[in-house]
Structure 1
Amino acid sequence: MGMLPALSAPLRPTRALVRRCLSGPAHLGPFSDYVQGQSPAPNVREYFYYIDHQGMLFLDDAKMKNFTSCIKEQKFLRFFFNQLRMNDTERYPEFPFISPCGRERNFVRCNDLPIVFTHVLAPSDGSSNFKLSYNHAGALLSTAFDPHLLCMLPGTGRVYHPGPARSGGVGLVRSALAIEFSRGFRFDKGETMPPTHFQWEGETYKLTNELVPALLQMRGRCNMDAHPSDT
């Protein structure tokens, strides 16, 4: 599994898990032209990951993708997603993202977008500065919540919010959280159009929908329809 050998001790259980997953015969992923842990050049290793629409991270070739098999160590998740960026290596374009780690290349594909907001973090200082945490790392991975920048695509019902610029600048809102947010949406232009306003914490925000161009570009780059179906 791609990670720096010098990472701190709390990450060791994850390395052990991956060693178990990769022990024995080579595991072929859903794309037949890779093998987990392959070495295309001296001292270079390549690994392949998948992020589902709930923001959980898996080895791409895991037969079962559910809560019991996802990677849960928050310090590892922080490192992995802080390194995440667009894959411009010209290798494995079906994996649109990569999380480099020293000499290891961690290629990443996803159900929708790699950044998935999972929870709202309430301010601890009495202010109104709420945050959104993402990809199940709690407060270790979070960004400021800007209610007026929420965006919903009527065709899918999925909700999005700005995310880290390095990984595309936009992230998906997890379905459970999106349902909660949807109660505050107002559709002044009709329900076939994106919502126009959002009510949050006693305030009404006019939605700019400025994320739409970047969102459509990102979804096109991810080319989700080209991926094998996942459970």
Structure 2
Amino acid sequence: MLLFVCNKSFVRSKTMSAVVRVARNKLLLYRSLHYVQGQEPEPKVREYFYYIDHQGMLFLDDARMKNFTSCFKDKSFLRFFFRRLRLNGTGRYTEFPYLSVCGKERNFVRCDDYPVVYTHVIRKNGEYLLAHNHADDLLTVEFRPDKLLMLPTTGRVYHPAPPEVGSVGLIRSKLAVEFSSHFEFGDRPGDPPTHFNFDGHRYLLEGQWYKEVMDRKSG
């Protein structure tokens, strides 16, 4: 096996091409959507529409500028919103695959890739956790280094997420670049990583979980 000191250029180039492709598709989708923020399809029920980018930031879907200044930042609100996030099984607005129901509000959500985006690793009570969607320790899952998976076609890195949101979470590009120096790759160019070195341990990467999720989706 070959241990690459850093594979940052691969991750960055693949990630940027994926971002451009998704942005183009997003523009086409946006032009075909018809909704009004706060619309009332039935008495006392209001509907809102949100978007999550590949950095894990949450925006109103129709915000013209989507950057740090326009995203939602209140950590308590983010915890409240994401803890109620589920797959959208209403049959309404299928272009928004996810739904966060908050009282009488239906919050339809679409995203660049997956709604759960892991931003950094934290250690709490002797345990390593992955924090997601910019709520720090208010939104976390157990960090399973052996479950990290990189797709060679895009360079994006994934980790399991709660089943309520589809079981797959995206590793934020900045964190993926940090992780890249800990991956071990095979001899052939383009092969995905086989091992991950973390906290003094060498983990054999196991991607079966991702295949099973994809099989369930296609089945």
When the two structures are superposed, what TM-score results if normalisation uses the length of structure 1? 0.77
**Pair 1:218–1:111, CA change in 2 (3 A):** farther
- Residue deviations 1:39-72, cap 9 Å, x none? 1111110000000000000000000000000000
Give the number of the structure whose residues are more often strand, by fraction: 2
Aligned 1:195-214 pairs, distance under 5 A:
195-214=193-212
For this pair of structures, how many residues does the alignment match?
189
Structure 2: runs of 5+ lacking an equivalent: 1-29
AA in 1 matched with 2:180: S
State the 1:182 CA deviation.
1.1
Aligned residue number for residue 26 of structure 1: none
Identical counterparts, % of pairs? 56
State the 1:32 CA deviation.
3.6
In the aligned structure 1, how far is the partner of 2:189 from the partner of 2:44?
Answer: 54
SS of the equivalent of 1:171 reads: strand
State the 1:30 CA deviation.
4.6
Aligned residue number for residue 131 of structure 2: 133
Retained in 1: the 8 A contact 2:152–2:192?
A: yes
Q: Does 1:59 align with 2:57?
A: no
Of stretches 84-93 and 187-196 in structure 1, the one that deviates more from structure 2 is 187-196
- Residue deviations 1:193-213, cap 9 Å, x none? 321100111210000112332
Aligned residue number for residue 223 of structure 1: none
AA in 1 matched with 2:96: F
State the 1:160 CA deviation.
0.5
User: CA RMSD for the aligned pairs?
Assistant: 1.8
Tell me which of the two structures has the higher relative contact order, counting C-alpha pairs closer than 8 angstroms and 6 or more residues apart.
2
SS of the equivalent of 1:39 reads: strand
Aligned 1:38-187 pairs, distance under 5 A:
38-123=39-124, 125=125, 127=126, 129-187=127-185
In the aligned structure 2, how far is the partner of 1:101 from the partner of 1:199?
Answer: 40
SS of the equivalent of 1:46 reads: strand
- Residue deviations 1:58-93, cap 9 Å, x none? 000000000000000000000100000100100000
AA in 1 matched with 2:186: D
SS of the equivalent of 2:188 reads: coil
Retained in 1: the 8 A contact 2:116–2:133?
A: yes
State the 1:172 CA deviation.
0.2
When the two structures are superposed, what TM-score results if normalisation uses the length of structure 2? 0.81
